[in-house]
Amino acid sequence: MTAKASQRDGGDADIDDLIGRVYDVALDPSRYEDLLDKWESTVAPLRQAQDATLLLDEPGIVGHFERADAVLEGMGAKRSTDEIALLLQQFDTVAAVVISERLDVAGLNEAAAHLLGTGQGARLTSFPLEAEDRAALARQIARMLGDASSEPSVFRVRREEEGQFIVFHMRRAARASGEPIVIAVTSDLRWPKGFGDILAEAFSLSAAETDVVRLLVECCSVKDIAETRGRSVETVRAQIKAILGKTETRSQIELIRLALSMMDIAGATEDAQPGPRLISQGLGQLEPLPFRTVFDADDRAIDYLILGDPKGTPVLFFHMDFGFVRWTVSAEAEAARLGLKVIVPVRGGFGHSDPTPKGANFGDVAARDAIRVLDEEGVTSCPVLALAADHMIALRLEQLRPGTVTAIVAAGGYFPCVTSEQVERMHKWHRFIQAGARYTPHLLPFLVKAGFHLARRGGKRAFVHSVFGESPADIATFEDEEVFEALVTGSEVCLSDTHSAHDGFTRQTLWEHGPDLPKLLKWSEGRFPYHSLNGLQDPGMHPDTIAEHAAAHPWIEFKLYEDAGQLLFFRHWRDALALILRYL
Q: What is the mean pLDDT of residues 464-468?
A: 82
199 and 166 assigned to the same domain:
no
Give the range among 273-282, 392-401, 516-525, 544-553 with minimum mean pLDDT: 273-282
Mean pLDDT of 473-486: 92
**Which range, of 145-154, 238-247, 291-300, averages the lowest pLDDT?**
145-154
> Please, which pLDDT band fits residue 240 given cuts at 50, 70 and 90?
very high
For the cut 80, the answer to whether the pLDDT of residue 324 exceeds it is yes
The C-alpha atoms of residue 376 and residue 345 are separated, in whole angstroms, by: 11
Determine contact, residues 280/350, Cβ cutoff 8 Å. no
Residue 229 lies in a domain: yes
The three-state DSSP-derived secondary structure of 538-571 is CCCCCHHHHHHHHHHCCCCEEEEECCCCCCHHHC
pLDDT in tens, 264-277: 455 433 333 333 34
pLDDT band at 287 (very low <50, low <70, confident <90, very high): confident
Identify the domain boundary among 136, 166, 186: 186
Q: What is the CATH number of the domain that holds 310?
A: 3.40.50.1820
Q: CB of 79 within 8 A of CB of 121?
A: no
Residues 396 and 423 in one domain: yes
Residues 199 and 177 in one domain: no
Q: Tell me, yes or no, whether 151 lies in a domain.
A: yes
For 241, residues 6+ apart whose C-beta sits below 8 A from its C-beta are none
Asked whether residue 7 is assigned to any structural domain, the reply reads no
Q: Do 235 and 348 fall into the same domain? A: no
Return the number of other C-beta atoms located less than 10 Å from residue 110's C-beta: 10
Of 392, 370, 366, nearest to 381 (Cα)?
370
Q: Are residues 166 and 206 in the same domain?
A: no
Total domains present in the chain: 3
CA distance 470 to 456: 21
Between the alpha carbon of residue 425 and those of residues 432, 443, 451, 460, 537, the distances in Å are 11, 22, 21, 25, 12
Is there a domain that residue 448 lies in? no
Q: Are residues 180 and 216 part of one domain?
A: no
Structural domain of residue 215, as residue ranges? 195-266
Q: Has residue 438 been placed in a domain?
A: no
Asked whether residue 491 falls in the same domain as residue 547, the answer is: yes
Boundary-marking domain end, from 186, 206, 235 = 186
Residues 160 and 289 in one domain: no
Q: Residue 561: what pLDDT? A: 97
Mean pLDDT of the chain: 82
Residue that is last in its domain, among 266, 296, 311: 266
Domain for residue 445, yes or no? no
Q: Are residues 514 and 406 in the same domain?
A: yes
pTM for the full predicted model: 0.61
Residue 55: band (very low, low, confident or very high) from pLDDT cuts 50, 70, 90: low
**Residue range 3-44, pLDDT digits in tens:** 333 334 445 566 777 777 777 766 666 677 777 777 777 777
**pLDDT band, very low/low/confident/very high, at 578 (cuts 50, 70, 90):** very high
Q: What is the CATH number of the domain that holds 80?
A: 3.30.450.20
